[in-house]
Amino acid sequence: MNDQNINFEAAWAASQIPAAGRRLQAQRLADAMRRVIDHLVQVAAPEDDLRTAADLLESYAERLSRYPVSRTYEGFAEAANAGDTHVFFDHSPLIGMANPLAPPIRMAVMSDRIEGRVTFGAPYEGPPGHVHGGFLAAAFDEVLGMAQSLTGNPGMTGTLMIRYRRPTPLLKELVFEGRVDRVEGRKIFTRGTVSAAGKVTAEAEGLFIAVGAERFLAMAAALGSKPRSDAK
């Protein structure tokens, strides 16, 4: 492991809020579900085994639907909205440890930039053996969103432009970098890259519009305790 890896690992570890209790179990469950998803898209399991698994998951989905909706322990879903890189994002679809949809991307503040590291598995495949471009775009949105949060202003994506320079491999650690290019009033301009084995595979430029923390608080309050779509 080189010095760059050590620095990233130290920065990432320092940014983590240790999980315990409910958060820890939610993260364990999400990790197990990621493994199920990964196997499901690759393994030719027999019909009887798939039937058994489906029965068990349907039963547990029904059980979960009986509990009230609550995300208070999970923090924010998107780094750009928080305006603070030191909160946790358990239910983020890109970096959330408690969200089975997330790869997840590990991100850390490295001086004047954000660095993210992730290995996309088979569920994220586009071209054979390579990452679907849509997932790369979503990852850039998250990385650049956290980069713009270094300004202390929570914002929303205005525009996002991706240049795909070469196919991005699956099952290889990818390194995302994002930084603030300039700020013009409420407009925050960012740029970033993703690399595999030291070679840049895609570049991105993002424009974020600062909207103020009160806007996001109002959006969160509007959710209230609305029922899930599958609630009984």
- 3-state SS class at 68: coil
pLDDT at position 217: 62
Pairing between β-strand 155-164 and β-strand 106-110 as defined by DSSP bridges: unpaired
pLDDT at position 80: 58
Residue 60: both structure tokens together: 């547990």
CA neighbor of 130 nearest in space, from 24, 202, 231, 210: 202
Q: What is the mean pLDDT of each run of 10 residues along the chain (232 residues)?
A: 68 83 92 95 93 95 87 56 60 91 94 94 97 98 93 90 98 97 95 97 96 65 55 43
pLDDT at position 155: 86
CA distance 96 to 76: 9
Q: Name residues whose C-beta falls within 8 Å of residue 150's C-beta, 6 or more positions apart in sequence.
A: 85, 109, 112, 114, 180
Please check whether residue 193 is in contact with residue 210, taking contact to mean a CB–CB distance below 8 angstroms: no
DSSP H helical ranges for 41-173: 47-64, 79-82, 133-148
Please state the domain count of the chain: 1
CA neighbor of 132 nearest in space, from 144, 146, 121: 121
CA distance 137 to 62: 33
pLDDT at position 15: 80
147: CATH = 3.10.129.10
Domain that holds residue 71: 1-232
Residue 34: left (phi > 0), alpha (psi -120 to 50), or beta? alpha
CA distance 17 to 22: 14
pLDDT at position 183: 95
